[in-house]
Amino acid sequence: MTLAAATATAAHVTTAASDTHGFLSPTGVEIAFLLVGLVTFGAALVTVTTRQLVHAALWLVVTLGGLAVEYLLLTAEFIAWVQVLIYVGSVVVLLLFGLMLTRAPIGRSPDADSGNRWAALAVALSSAAALVWVVVDAFRTTWIDLEGAAVGSTAVTGASLFQNWVLPFEALSVLLLAALVGAIVLSRKTKAESSSPPVNSRAATGSSPSVPDSRNHPIGRNGSVRGTESTEQDGAR
Amino acid sequence: MHLAYPAVLAALLFSTGLYGVLARRNAILVLMSVELMLNAVNLNLVAFDVWLSRTARETLHSGQALTLFTIAIAAAEIGIGLAIVLAVHRNRGTADIDKLRDTAEPHGPDEATGTDDEKTEDEKAEATA
């Protein structure tokens, strides 16, 4: 009896849900999400296919900005602004600095794609087909209720973050500190190559992992002692 | 909103990033593609958090908290990754990941040409350093 009642209730809820939501009458939020999503996906495609390296970074800005708009449409405003601040503001600037410091070519570089791009295309298309199929099949009848108060407003996110997630938050600050120190150590040029005794660098040659090709060309090592010494000091540290 | 929209968009973005990781040759472009994949995961987390906070009355907001953690870890990752790429570029003169084949198994006579290439690259790097 109760089972039948529950089934009837469930059927009623299902019909009510199918009454209120429909594929053929999308809401304004869905239309906006679809349009911004098309722009985001197109910019992502250009990012991974363009042959001009700086343009790839600039199209990445469009992609990440589009994703910020999608977060806003999903009522997660704090995540959206964090996305704008961190990704668009700092990560893309870091990438542009990296392109500049590695002397990336400004114009079209013909060797931006490697030789296995057709295998990569096959892998990406098959993974896209599998993922889209599974996701659409799983969430065909699932709707997000966006009415009412925003679930991702700054007050809600901050309260949840500092009530329930304080310990991971603090651990994350330690991780950021470690990443900062690691980046400095990795990218620091060794100061005063002449001050270090050459005996140390000679002893470190055998176990230095950062000079794996030293056996290949002794000419290069004899020709320029300075560069090799700096790499050996990096490895010894 | 239908949940399939953000889920499908996240799947497509993830596949785009996968193609970029596999097909690109410059290390910084590979890092950009990794960022695309991370952002696809973030979109999934946010969408499912919004869905579950209404449907299942989930009040922990674990999806949004995890999204914030992912964004912070991605920032740390891009810093470390760029430092490694710059160190490789300083030592080897190239940020081209197809040419960094020192740990590859030696096979056949084409190894000689490869080491010749690397030698010239290395000499160029040390000349500029």
The boundaries of the domain holding residue B11 are: 4-128
Which pLDDT does position A23 carry in this prediction? 59
Task: Give the rounded distance of the alpha carbon of A222 from its chain centre.
Answer: 42
Using CB atoms, which residue from A143, A172, A210 is nearest to B69?
A172
Burial label for A28, CB within 10 Å (0-12, 13-18, 19+), is exposed
Residues A168-193: what's their mean pLDDT?
86
* C-alpha angle A89-A90-A94 in degrees, rounded to nearest 5: 135
Return the domain boundaries, chain A.
23-109, 194-237
Give yes or no for B5 touching A (CB within 8 A): yes
How confident is the model at residue B61, as a pLDDT? 86
- The number of residues in chain A equals 237
Full-prediction pTM beyond 0.80? no
> What end-to-end distance do the CA atoms of chain A give, in Å?
75
**Rounded Cα–Cα distance for residues B110 and B129 (Å):** 29
Give the tokens for residue A174: 């330690």
pLDDT over 70 at A31, yes or no: yes
CA distance A124 to A236: 40
In 3D, which of A200, A210, A213, A215 has the Cα closest to residue A235? A210
State the pLDDT at residue A194. Answer: 47
Report the pLDDT value the prediction gives residue A86, as an integer from 0 to 100: 93
Tell me: pLDDT of A212 over 60. Answer: no
Range scoring the smallest mean pLDDT among A94-108, B38-52, B53-67, B100-114 = B100-114
State how far the Cα of B61 lies from the Cα of B52, in Å rounded to an integer: 9
- B58 close contact with A: CB closer than 8 A: no
Q: What is the ipTM of this complex?
A: 0.80
Q: Is pLDDT of A2 > 80?
A: no
Q: Determine contact: A69 vs chain B, CB below 8 A.
A: no
Over 60: is that where the pLDDT of A217 sits? no
Q: Residue B2: which of A152, A17, A68 has the closest Cα?
A: A17
- Inter-chain CB proximity B1 and A119 less than 8 Å: no
| Residue of B113 and A123 predicted with greater confidence | A123
Highest mean pLDDT among A144-158, B34-48, B82-96, B104-118: B34-48
The predicted-structure confidence for B75-88, as pLDDT tens digits, reads as follows: 999 999 999 999 99
| Mean of pLDDT over chain A | 77
pLDDT tops 50 at residue A114: yes
Read off the pLDDT of residues A49-84 as tens digits, 9 standing for 90 and up.
Answer: 998 889 999 999 999 999 999 999 999 999 999 999
- Please indicate whether, in this complex, the C-beta atoms of B23 and A63 are within 8 angstroms of each other: no
Q: What is the CATH number of domain A23-109?
A: 1.20.120.1200
Stretch among A99-103, B47-51, B103-107, B115-119 having the lowest mean pLDDT: B115-119
Question: How many domains does chain B fold into?
Answer: 1
Of A97, A112, A144, the CB nearest to B24: A112
Rounded CA-CA distance B108/A195 in Å is 44
Tell me the average pLDDT across A19-30: 70
- The Cβ of residue B122 has, within 10 Å, a number of other Cβ atoms equal to 23
pLDDT digits (tens, 9 = 90+) for B15-37: 999 999 999 988 999 999 999 99
Q: What percent of chain B has pLDDT over 70?
A: 82
Which residues on chain B are in Cβ contact (under 8 Å) with A135?
4, 7-8, 11
Report the alpha-carbon angle B108-B110-B116, nearest 5.
135
What CATH code is carried by the domain that includes residue B29?
A: 1.10.287.3510
Task: Point out the residue among A125, A140, A213 whose CB comes nearest to the CB of B4.
Answer: A140
